[in-house]
Chain A
């Protein structure tokens, strides 16, 4: 069996940055809103404590979670299929036979470009979301993987 590959370690920093952005745009305002609400209902100090506690919690999650996710994320291009395993709480291991791959995309957003990383998404005819998605690969490695996967083909079972 082919060795399972980890992602590029830089991806943890990409995820942390994305986590911080989410913290600033979604979780932060929510924490402040919850604090203000509690402060108005009880005393102002309680609201401040709640806001700080929530912010500290979300910050810790944004910093630690990517490490956990990186630790469990593995993929392998094997002889007959692409194997992807991911997830921290809800784990998923997917096997996508090469001959069932309809198309392979590489995507790179502005933040990903900053880190020199790319996302490879693999689609089959199942008609659902991408069956396999490998988020943090060095741009060159992602292109090579995309071309490798796209080259292998065969009966698509439809």
Chain B
């Protein structure tokens, strides 16, 4: 079937399983309540429960590496509403990561200490005091975290409270949980614990971060939450493996990652550290460095950073597997991704929560025949290294499989963007692109030519390069609208293909700048929760009609 843009086929949109329980979504996501009036958080005594024995026989799915642990479980099911805390071993598990995060947060101070130390002739007593202070603060915050963090499932809601002086309680509606992540760093592995992350929409902080739970506590919690959502947390028999990445693919992924940033960091560190380690040697080396040797060193730094990138990404994504679950109509469809050599991560995303899928094909990776797929929900994961919008990243996908991986996230899409010819941008969009390029090139080329005459004349090369780049960019733009999804593709250097479910559209915008007005063009911007997709430039009237017809009322 050929979709002719917005044809007469609209109105045939099926209601997927996604819609059924979102209707009651008017409830508050979470509330912050002053805890001054609530009783103190105390660990609640666990009572044996007959249900627990029955659960022993159930095959709980927490990933293959966790499943082994599960068979030896004795599961004390908590009473409804009983507060539960972190595992006592969390004190050990959390100490080093928390201290490290604290130190990381104060890196400018550490840098000053490092540089200051070199002037004063090595780290002094004051510096050692700082280090001790960091460690003590880290230990203190770990103890407070363990003593005050309590969670429970109460009245159908998940509640979590923590804090000694600044106490807060969050109440999370299980229906609003976007995805559940299980993470195990090496400390978790040694102690047999697991970190549970429950992510909801609308807040950049990871909601309900339970840093160290025993596997049985984690399992019980996930089961309870799933039961509250009226779903089964068990792994379905109908599990379909979508993708498994081998070592070769992961190494290739690392090789195709840009690593210039690491070179800068490495060089900076070298320049900073060398005079501290051996001031005389550094000065001597600087004097005797021939230009050739300098180039060699830079190349070496590149090679090292490249190697580091390969190593890091291989360790991070080691053993990546992607499975699709819940194909039985009675179950909820889910995507499950597992990865990691030292720190194992497991992410489960219910398909009804998927906002968009993105295939990213940077030039080098594309030449290798691969791309990277990200699946985004409305949940914003605030991991320790910053906000991450994409909850599930499939690092290296063979081009032949790109569509099947994208479809595992948005099965309603029936069009393969790599085989089907997408609709092109309006021809005048190319002129607009070129005008923009000319303007930018002039801004750069004129001062360069004047300042660096006659070598600056080389900057005139920007014009033909800009024209070529604009043409390539235009050529690879594409878009398509089916009754179920919107597909958009942009970029030559970094080709990105977006597929977003139409029933997730939050708002639709039509924008037009002065240059676009001159060419009679308009641009449609589609916003979903947490992200936006821009369609290629179209004739203004065409874009206007898309705005009208993409608004969900047309087909609901």
Point out residues on A near B: beta carbons under 8 Å: 79-81, 89-97, 99-100, 124-128, 131-132, 153-158
A131 surroundings in chain B (CB, below 8 A): 506-507, 509, 527
Give CA–CA (A29, B506) in the complex, Å: 42
Query: In the complex, are the beta carbons of B25 and A126 less than 8 A apart?
Result: no
Given contacts A79-B553, A81-B551, A155-B19, contact A95 B507 (CB under 8 A): yes
Give CA–CA (A156, B355) in the complex, Å: 12
The 9 closest A-B pairs by CB, nearest first: A80-B553, A126-B527, A126-B506, A125-B529, A124-B506, A131-B507, A93-B510, A96-B507, A158-B378
Closest to A100 in B: B506
Contact of B378 among A125, A128, A132 (CB under 8 A): A125
Other than the given A80-B553, A126-B530, A127-B201, 7 more pairs (CB < 8 A) read A94-B507, A94-B510, A97-B505, A100-B552, A127-B380, A157-B22, A157-B506
Given contacts A80-B553, A125-B378, contact A97 B507 (CB under 8 A): yes
Total chain B interface residues with beta-carbon distance under 8 A? 38
Give CA–CA (A155, B507) in the complex, Å: 13
Point out residues on B near A: beta carbons under 8 Å: 19, 22-23, 25-26, 176, 178, 201-202, 353, 378, 380, 503-514, 517, 527-532, 544, 547-548, 550-553
Can you identify 21 A-B contacts, CB atoms within 8 angstroms? A90-B511, A90-B514, A92-B509, A93-B510, A93-B547, A94-B509, A95-B550, A96-B506, A97-B551, A100-B507, A125-B530, A126-B530, A127-B202, A127-B529, A131-B507, A132-B507, A154-B23, A156-B25, A158-B201, A158-B504, A158-B529
Give CA–CA (A128, B204) in the complex, Å: 12
Query: In the complex, are the beta carbons of A92 and B378 less than 8 A apart?
Result: no
A124 surroundings in chain B (CB, below 8 A): 506-507, 527, 529
A81 surroundings in chain B (CB, below 8 A): 551, 553
Query: In the complex, are the beta carbons of B513 and A156 less than 8 A apart?
Result: no
Closest to A1 in B: B548
Query: In the complex, are the beta carbons of B528 and A157 less than 8 A apart?
Result: yes
Given contacts A158-B22, A158-B378, contact A89 B505 (CB under 8 A): no
Query: In the complex, are the beta carbons of B22 and A156 less than 8 A apart?
Result: yes
Contact of A125 among B19, B201, B509 (CB under 8 A): B201
Give CA–CA (A132, B544) in the complex, Å: 17
A-B contact count (CB 8 A): 104
A127 surroundings in chain B (CB, below 8 A): 201-202, 378, 380, 529-530
Q: Which of B19, B504, B517, B529 has the most CB of A within 10 A?
A: B529
Given contacts A79-B553, A126-B532, A127-B202, contact A158 B25 (CB under 8 A): yes
Closest to A125 in B: B529
Give CA–CA (A30, B519) in the complex, Å: 35
Give CA–CA (A128, B509) in the complex, Å: 13
Least distance between A84 CB and chain B CB atoms (Å): 9
Closest to A91 in B: B512
Contact of B504 among A93, A94, A128, A157 (CB under 8 A): A157
A157 surroundings in chain B (CB, below 8 A): 22, 503-506, 528-529
Give CA–CA (A95, B548) in the complex, Å: 8
A92 surroundings in chain B (CB, below 8 A): 509-512
Least distance between B353 CB and chain A CB atoms (Å): 8
A156 surroundings in chain B (CB, below 8 A): 22, 25
Given contacts A131-B507, A157-B506, contact A97 B552 (CB under 8 A): yes
B552 surroundings in chain A (CB, below 8 A): 80, 97, 99-100
Closest to A96 in B: B507
B550 surroundings in chain A (CB, below 8 A): 95
Query: In the complex, are the beta carbons of A125 and B510 less than 8 A apart?
Result: no
A128 surroundings in chain B (CB, below 8 A): 527, 532
Given contacts A100-B507, A127-B202, A131-B527, contact A95 B547 (CB under 8 A): yes
Give CA–CA (A99, B552) in the complex, Å: 9
A97 surroundings in chain B (CB, below 8 A): 505, 507, 551-553
Given contacts A126-B532, A158-B22, contact A93 B509 (CB under 8 A): yes
Least distance between B419 CB and chain A CB atoms (Å): 29
